[in-house]
Amino acid sequence: MPPIVRTLLTRGVPLLALYLVVLGLIGAGIIDAYWMATLALICVNIVLAVSLNLITGFTGQFSLGHAGFMAIGAYATAIISNAVAGPAGFLGGLLAGGVLAALVGFLIGLPTLRLRGDYLAIATLGMAEIIRVVFVNLDSVTNGAAGLTVTQNMDWNWFFVLTVGSVILIRNYLRSRQGRDAIAVREDEIAAESIGVDTTRAKVMSFTIGAFFGGLGGGMYASYFYFIKPDLFGFLKSIDILVIVVLGGLGSLSGSIIAAILLALISTLLQGFTEIRMILYALLLVVIMIFRPEGLMGSRELSLNVFSRLGRRRPALATAQAAPGASEAQGKGDER
């Protein structure tokens, strides 16, 4: 079986099944507006958590400003899709939001990522705060603190495409040479530098890509929940996303996905009790860090490959995995 066919079978079929099942449930009315909102929140949180995991979990850079990127994406999508009707405005808005967020991430990341230590956390926190204040004060464009109504463009089709697409792109990035550089930086920055990894470049790349998907997540949020205001994207939103990443496991994409689903369900159930929910989140952070700092999944991944392993076990799998690594090392040697 050619690899591409196998990939399609093992990954595509389960995903397609998931898509169709949810579509059917929506059609049958079992997923009503209430659960659809939860589903939308899960998808948005998956995109946000996976992109923050790229920055914090895989590259080891602590960012507290993800809500800021989200705000940029949300407002860009809102303004563009309100101005241009139809899918062109909506998709253009999502893209513009992602690109703008990436640009801001790049501008913030370039100077601060050179620094060692926790400065990025504070700089990103400050950045998110500045973005919020700017949106509050730009009355003519953003309608200030009162907020903005957005054309509702998202449905399950778009959620599925954008969420799965984001996860696949980030996963593939992590398996590329740049992604492995990023992981090397997390493991030991000095060692990575000494074997020739351009650490600043690796960090800025991860941060910019993470910012892009943060912006995309914000755009998805705005287009489904159709009302945004600057206060939605405050410090606590950044913490919400961080809790998902930490619970799922710093360095595990599937962990982030599982945690996003778990926490969305918990917060739907605890909707009326904001304070209890926050106390729970806070305790969760402290307890996880003390007793299980690697989170639910650690850096392990739960892959859709399980479907192929269920079918047959072949040694070919092992060699297929080893081969790209070897050729990659070869490639590196040639270039330097």
Residues in contact with other proteins by the rule CB under 8 A: 56, 60, 62, 108, 111-112, 115-119, 121-123, 125-127, 129-130, 133-134, 136-137, 190, 235, 239, 242, 246, 250, 275-276, 278-279, 281-286, 289-290, 293
Instruction: Report the interhelical angle of 199-225 vs 177-187 (nearest 10°).
Output: 110
* CA–CA dist 274, 45 (Å, integer): 18
Q: Which residues contact 138 (CB under 8 A, 6 or more apart)?
A: 144
Closer CB to other proteins, 136 or 262, in the complex: 136
What's the closest the beta carbon of residue 282 comes to other proteins, in angstroms? Answer: 4
Instruction: Tell me, rounded to whole angstroms, the distance of Cα 328 from its chain centroid.
Output: 26
Task: Tell me how far, at minimum, the Cβ of 128 lies from other proteins, in Å.
Answer: 9
Q: Which is nearer to other proteins, 26 or 285 (CB)?
A: 285
Indicate the residue among 91 and 250 with the shorter CB distance to other proteins. 250
Q: Which residues of 140-156 are buried (b: 16+ CB within 10 A; e: fewer)?
A: eebbeeebbebbebbeb
Residue 67 CB, shortest distance to other proteins, in Å, is 14
Q: CA 59, CA 207: separation in Å to the nearest integer?
A: 8
Measured from the CB atom, the residue of 24 and 293 that comes closer to other proteins is 293
Smallest gap from Cβ 253 to other proteins, in A, equals 18
The Cα 270–Cα 58 span in angstroms is 31
Q: Toward other proteins, which CB reaches closer, 226 or 235? A: 235
Side chain identity at residue 91, one-letter code:
L
Minimum distance from residue 193 beta carbon to other proteins (Å): 10
Q: Is 143 helix (H, G, I), strand (E, B) or coil?
A: coil
Q: Which residues pair with 227 in a beta bridge?
A: 149
